[in-house]
Structure 1
């Protein structure tokens, strides 16, 4: 799908829910659309490019044409290069979310809104807690980049939830994705021939398998699970541990600030290694998923270590340590 306002509709004879997926052009979006098509409560799925949400008239037409009772918003883009630069990325993530919510406010038949968010909303700082629960006070909120976009977008989602208490609003804060078909600056960094690290830091990192992310989004879309939920694979791994198990030597670098370290990695060809990514590989971040398991009765099928192994195998890397999926 391409072009503002264009949708794909997969229909069938069943009576049931009408779902609109924003961001159906991504690896995640395509998988969510395909998974929703076979769900018994779903009558049809309409898909739109993530960029469609950044145009007010276009998204208003999409909502009016599809007349959905469920909207799944996957359009938040973490990579400036894919959005057309940082300014376009903010336009898409923040203004686009505002416009999507404005259109949803005028949809009388809407019953569910599912938003793909990110653990980046918690930021990264030296005195962060060992685990971030959904209601953990943020010590140092993100001040730029994707994390700031996500925090602002979530604020507008909370405002929408207050205005439309009849809509079940679910916000899923994901750990970084890993697995077959996933591409990200963080994964590119971890699979560099030599992985530069910040001298004196060995952060804990956490991932979620892309298939588990799809399952979580589908669960939220076909049910009614209002609230905010962390979604991540069980366990965490130290950066040094990940590098060893991927067979990648590390190169400790004296940090002269995030700009210097980020520039070093970008010179290696990883264009979207932004300051929030630098903070992540310096301080780390681990999400507490107890709420997701308790309220939704859902657990991921893959641990963090298994998600990373699946990614490594998909790109042709062989693990060098037996039993590496155990994590710690």
Structure 2
């Protein structure tokens, strides 16, 4: 079986390559990324192709890469530069547009796109707090979150593609995972979420964590998303699938793992502080992420369990423990996306290229 993985050097791409390397000798991988990782596990057993999805004629080039593939797995998405939403849309939404066109031209039988819980409308609440939603919950996003709006826009592209399907067009699968965690993302989480001068061990000394007690977020380990991706490809299962482990993660859970005292603040106050920090360029996280965290629904994963035979191998608290350990150790891989973060290379990057919000396009 031949699979093309778009965005193979990222968080989920790394987990998927690792899973295939460990378990699937029957899978031949063509890995596509803007920047090709170092030839070390799990990146050393794939054929790599460098493609920038924002470049001209990307669809035509991808069609040549896709020909003969049994499935294309689309993991392409951008998280930075946060101050340039048009650039992010060109990567995520524009990239999906190119992938859809190329898959049609190359007559690929199956396209698997990784969406997100962030595509959903704000979740319902009941007597006990948030209620779980299945895949029929509206995917029109959270208006104040750039990430959420763009994930919703990608869902509309897939809706349109399904309505226009002919016999030659690919079966479309959408996976909607909760927050994806794994140890190897430790350095990248620090790079995007911490000020440049903050050393990797500093979160361990955080005395208090200002977090509302209403925070209740679905999470899933990256390896479990990889397992669902392979199950979807094997079964050529169409439609959307929620992915999350139990129990949902709370603000108290996060504070406990950081050995910090959780201070219960209302979400609007945390959001206002995030806006001020972002405006002052102290933080690279825009306040839309705070709005999203408090609004996303919890996920009913019955469909994935029944149609994909999927069961998460990691409990949510185990995934959180592993990720916090990865942040403390600044864990990294040979991928440019998951590269090691140090204070020195943070400052060097800023001196060479300016802030992260002004990185080179190519």
**Fold in common (TM above 0.5):** yes
Which stretch of the first structure deviates more once superposed, 128-137 or 141-150?
128-137
Distance in 2 separating the partners of 1:84 and 1:70: 34
Measured at CA, do residues 66 and 34 of structure 1 come closer, stay the same or move farther in structure 2, by a change above 3 Å? farther
The residue aligned with 1:64 is 64
The residue aligned with 2:256 is 244
Superposition pairs of residues 70-85 of structure 1, within 5 angstroms: 70-77=71-78, 79-81=79-81, 85=84
* Cα displacement (A) at 1:195: 1.8
The residue aligned with 1:103 is 102
* Cα displacement (A) at 1:116: 0.8
> What SS does structure 1 have at the residue aligned with 2:3?
strand
Structure 2 residues without counterparts, runs of 5 or longer: 35-50, 195-202, 330-362
* Cα displacement (A) at 1:256: 5.2
Q: Which has the higher contact order (CA 8 A, sep 6+)?
A: 2
The residue aligned with 2:44 is none
* Cα displacement (A) at 1:114: 0.5
> What SS does structure 2 have at the residue aligned with 1:19?
strand
Which among 114, 117, 120 is matched to residue 116 of structure 1?
114
Measured at CA, do residues 63 and 123 of structure 1 come closer, stay the same or move farther in structure 2, by a change above 3 Å? same
> What SS does structure 2 have at the residue aligned with 1:55?
coil
1:207·1:233 contact (CA, 8 Å) conserved in 2?
Answer: yes
Measured at CA, do residues 290 and 251 of structure 1 come closer, stay the same or move farther in structure 2, by a change above 3 Å? same
The residue aligned with 2:5 is 21
Superposition pairs of residues 147-162 of structure 1, within 5 angstroms: 147-162=148-163
Measured at CA, do residues 254 and 150 of structure 1 come closer, stay the same or move farther in structure 2, by a change above 3 Å? closer
Distance in 2 separating the partners of 1:119 and 1:145: 14
1:185·1:273 contact (CA, 8 Å) conserved in 2?
Answer: no
> What SS does structure 2 have at the residue aligned with 1:64?
helix
The residue aligned with 2:87 is 88
The residue aligned with 1:3 is none
2:124·2:131 contact (CA, 8 Å) conserved in 1?
Answer: no
Q: Does 1:293 align with 2:305?
A: yes
> What SS does structure 2 have at the residue aligned with 1:52?
coil
Superposition pairs of residues 5-16 of structure 1, within 5 angstroms: none
Distance in 2 separating the partners of 1:216 and 1:123: 23
| Deviation per residue, 1:56-109 (Å, 9 max, x gap) | 5133212214412311100022x232x78322001111122112211212122x
The residue aligned with 2:147 is 146
Measured at CA, do residues 265 and 254 of structure 1 come closer, stay the same or move farther in structure 2, by a change above 3 Å? farther
Which stretch of the first structure deviates more once superposed, 29-38 or 264-273?
264-273
Superposition pairs of residues 203-222 of structure 1, within 5 angstroms: 203-222=215-234
The residue aligned with 1:174 is 177
The CA RMSD measured in Å over matched residues stands at 3.0
Structure 1 residues without counterparts, runs of 5 or longer: 1-16, 318-328
Measured at CA, do residues 236 and 97 of structure 1 come closer, stay the same or move farther in structure 2, by a change above 3 Å? same
Measured at CA, do residues 52 and 185 of structure 1 come closer, stay the same or move farther in structure 2, by a change above 3 Å? same
Superposition pairs of residues 264-275 of structure 1, within 5 angstroms: 266=278, 269-275=282-288
Distance in 2 separating the partners of 1:221 and 1:188: 33
Measured at CA, do residues 33 and 286 of structure 1 come closer, stay the same or move farther in structure 2, by a change above 3 Å? same
Distance in 1 separating the partners of 2:287 and 2:100: 28
2:62·2:99 contact (CA, 8 Å) conserved in 1?
Answer: no
* Cα displacement (A) at 1:264: 5.1
* Cα displacement (A) at 1:113: 0.4
1:94·1:149 contact (CA, 8 Å) conserved in 2?
Answer: yes
> What SS does structure 2 have at the residue aligned with 1:172?
strand
TM-score, length of structure 2 as denominator length = 0.71
| Deviation per residue, 1:261-309 (Å, 9 max, x gap) | 323564695412441x212443453111111001111100011111101
Which among 36, 39, 49 is matched to residue 24 of structure 2?
39
